[in-house]
Amino acid sequence: MIFSGWLFLIMSWLMIIFIMIFCIARVLGDKENNK
């Protein structure tokens, strides 16, 4: 079997990691709400 699904794997991973980091950074950065 040849692994031809790289594009889907990498795109899915990147998209999720990007959204997750963006959200967590915003949540952690909001000190007032995080008391």
Partner 1 sequence: MSGKKRQQWGSKLGIILAVAGSAIGLGNFLRFPVQAAQNGGGAFMIPYFVSFLLLGIPLMWIEWTLGRLGGGFGHGTGPGIFHTMWQKNRFIKYFGVIGIFGPIAIFIYYTYVESWLLGYTFFAMTGKYAAATTQGAMQDFLSGYQGIKTNDYFSGIGSAYIFFVITFAMNIAVVYYGIKGGIEKLCNWAMPVLLICGILIAVRVLTLGTPDIARPDWNLKNGLGFLWNPDFKALKNAKVWMAAAGQIFFTLSVGIGVILTYASYLKKNDDVVLSGLTAASTNEFAEVILGGSIVIPAAYVFFGPQQITSIANSGSFNLGFVTMPLIFEKIPLGAFFATLWFLLLFLAGITSSVSLAQPAVAFLEDEFDLSRKESVSIFSVVCFVLCQPAIFFLANGVVDELDFWGGTFCLVLFGTIEAILFSWVFGIDKAWSEMHTGADINIPKFYKFIIKYITPLFLIAILGSWFVQQGIPVISMRNVPPENAKFVILTRIMLLGMFLLLAILVRIIWSRKKQEENV
Which spans of this chain sit near partner 1 (rule: CB under 8 A)?
1-9, 11-13, 15-17, 19-20, 23-24, 26-28, 30, 33-35
Minimal distance in Å, beta carbon 12 to partner 1?
5
Minimal distance in Å, beta carbon 11 to partner 1?
8
Minimal distance in Å, beta carbon 34 to partner 1?
5
DSSP output for 2-18: ----HHHHHHHHHHHHH
What are the Cα distances from residue 13, in Å, to 8, 19, 33?
8, 10, 29
At 35 the three-state DSSP class reads coil
